[in-house]
Amino acid sequence: MRFNSRAWMVWVLVVAFLAMFARNPLYSIILLALSLLAIQYYARIESPVRSMFLQISLGILLFSAIYHALFIHIGDHVLFELPQWPLIGGIITVEAIADGFRNGLVLIALIATFMALNTIVPSRELVRLVPAAFQDLAVVVLIAITYVPETRRHLRRIREAQAIRGHRPRGFRDWRPLILPLLVGGLERAMRLSEAMVARGHVSERAENSRAPERILLIAGLFTALIGWVMAILWGVSGYILLSLGGLVLVLIVVRKGRRVRRTSFVAVPWTATDTILVFTSLAALILVIAPWPVIGRLSLSYVPYPLLKMPEFHPLVGLALILLSFPILMGMTTQRDHDRMTEPDQNATSSREGIRQAR
């Protein structure tokens, strides 16, 4: 069971959006669980964050709790009182500590969401999501990803080569014999590489570029976005619209530029019905939460533990949104069961290509 990277992107963005806004710890915990389960069922890539996730989470909770305790001196349950030191002096309350935990949870949920993106979507596909207008930059990143292992080997070779002429790494000055050959060798390699690219028909969009009206539009869009941001901060909704307008202008330019790029793509990743459902359920969940409902108004994701700590409430409509977001988890559970029955060794990254090939 595998979803299209673009569909995943939509899911991740919606979950991240909610995770950012949800101050209610119940919602945060569920969102965190969703991300962790998604990783459980779909992860294909090792991530250093994943192996240290527990430690990172505990660290964040602890830090956030202490920070809140020291800086917020509100609440009915007073644990003790610090003398009137500057900044942190005052009463230390259970409410503030609880709020600290709640706040830490928001951050952890957000990190987990992006961890899901990082572990589920392989880097190559991540780069493929780059719009055609940024083709040149995507090629740069692809080259960089390609040459990272090569560069590591090169560095190892250089280290050996310097060792055999008596080089002993001791201090910062000893970076020189390692970095300079790496740098010069790298640039020489870049010369040869660019020749190979040109010889194989690579052409950049130089000729296409610098259409003055487009660039003026770009500046105008950026300016609109800035005004929108200021207004959103000061007055709310109207600013949001302006900011979106600025964003829209940019998207428009990107699409237009992309259209002019004459290129085809080799890997056509299949888009299946489940991908459509994933996008649909994700967007539905988003709309559920942000839509201004007739009678009840906009759903609240907030929770304030002050002045008295109380149980956070759980709104059924938010619950519905969270159920919609759990679609990939449910799919993962069912296919996982099939998978267990077949007891086949798990496929690795290459088999996605197999799948693609069979799908053609």
Q: Report the alpha-carbon distance of residue 139 to residue 201 in Å, rounded.
A: 14
Q: Is 53 near other proteins (CB under 8 A)?
A: no
* Alpha-helix residue ranges (DSSP H) falling in the chain: 5-21, 25-42, 48-51, 53-71, 94-120, 123-128, 135-163, 176-199, 212-235, 237-260, 273-290, 316-325, 327-342, 349-359
193-222: contacts with other proteins (CB under 8 A): 193-206, 208-210, 212, 215-216, 218-219, 221-222
Supply the DSSP symbol for 346. Answer: P
169 is written with which tokens?
């790494």
Identify the H or E element spanning 81.
strand 78-82
- Which residues fall within 8 angstroms of residue 339, CB to CB, at 6 or more apart? 346
Q: Is 101 near other proteins (CB under 8 A)?
A: no
- Which residues fall within 8 angstroms of residue 258, CB to CB, at 6 or more apart? 131, 132, 133
Shortest Cβ distance from residue 335 to other proteins (Å)?
Answer: 23
Q: Report the alpha-carbon distance of residue 359 to residue 165 in Å, rounded.
A: 55
End-to-end CA gap in the chain: 17
20-49: contacts with other proteins (CB under 8 A): 20-23, 45-49
Q: Is 182 near other proteins (CB under 8 A)?
A: yes
Shortest Cβ distance from residue 294 to other proteins (Å)?
Answer: 16
Shortest Cβ distance from residue 305 to other proteins (Å)?
Answer: 11
Residue nearer to other proteins on the CB measure, 149 or 343? 149
Supply the DSSP symbol for 311. Answer: P
**Nearest of 27, 49, 24 to residue 39 by alpha carbon:** 49
Shortest Cβ distance from residue 91 to other proteins (Å)?
Answer: 13
Shortest Cβ distance from residue 36 to other proteins (Å)?
Answer: 15
Residue nearer to other proteins on the CB measure, 73 or 333? 73
298-337: contacts with other proteins (CB under 8 A): 298-302
Stretch that binds other proteins, among 32-40, 72-80, 276-284, 330-338 (CB under 8 A): 72-80
Shortest Cβ distance from residue 115 to other proteins (Å)?
Answer: 8
214-273: contacts with other proteins (CB under 8 A): 215-216, 218-219, 221-223, 225-226, 229-230, 232-237, 240, 243, 246-247, 250, 253-254, 257, 262-268
Q: Is 106 near other proteins (CB under 8 A)?
A: yes
Supply the DSSP symbol for 300. Answer: P
Shortest Cβ distance from residue 251 to other proteins (Å)?
Answer: 9
Residue nearer to other proteins on the CB measure, 48 or 341? 48
**Residue type (1 letter), 168:** R
Residue choice 54, 55, 85, 187 for contact with other proteins (CB under 8 A): 187
CB under 8 A, 24+ apart: contacts of 187-196: 189/147, 193/143
Q: Is 80 near other proteins (CB under 8 A)?
A: no
